[in-house]
Amino acid sequence: MSQSVLLTIARASIEEVLQAQTSIDRIELLENYPVLSQPMECEITLYLDNQLRGSARTTSLSRPLLEEIIHNAKIAAFQDEQFDPLVTSEYLHTTIKLTLFTPDGALSHQSEPILKG
C-alpha cells in the first residue's frame, strides 16, 4: 500500500471536521486495501512550522487500521489537550507524520503542508 494513501486518509479525516461533511469512502478503501481492515497501532503527529501541533496514538487494538488513522488524525487535530483545536489557516500549513507500529518495527511517513511558507 502506498504511503500516500495512508496520509491521504489522515488529511481527509481532518478535512471532514473542518468542512463538516463526510468524504471518506470506507467501503472502497477496505475493498482496495484489505490491510486497512486489520488491527494495527498507529500514531498521528501534526507539526506547524516544525513545532509540535498535536498528537494521538492508538491505545488498544480494538479497531481496524483505517478507523485508527481516522480517529487519531481527528484527535491530534481537534482534541489534543495541549493545544486549541486546529483551524483551517493552520491546517493548510501543517505537516502530518503517520507512524505505523508493525511487528518489524515502526514505519513513518510524512506529508508536506498543503501551503508552504
String of DSSP letters for 55-107: EEE---S-SBHHHHHHHHHHHHHHT-TTSPPP-HHHHTTEEEEEEEEETTEEE
Domains and CATH numbers, the chain: 3-110 (3.30.700.20)
Tens digits of residue pLDDT in 56-75: 998 778 899 999 999 999 99
Q: In the prediction, which pLDDT does 59 show?
A: 78
Q: Read off the pLDDT of each residue in 32-38 and give the average, rounded to a whole number.
A: 95
This prediction's pTM: 0.92
* Collapsed DSSP state (helix, strand, coil) of residue 25: coil
42, burial (CB in 10 Å: exposed 0-12, middle 13-18, buried 19+): buried
Integer Cα distance of 106 and 93 in angstroms: 25
Mean predicted lDDT score pLDDT of the chain: 93
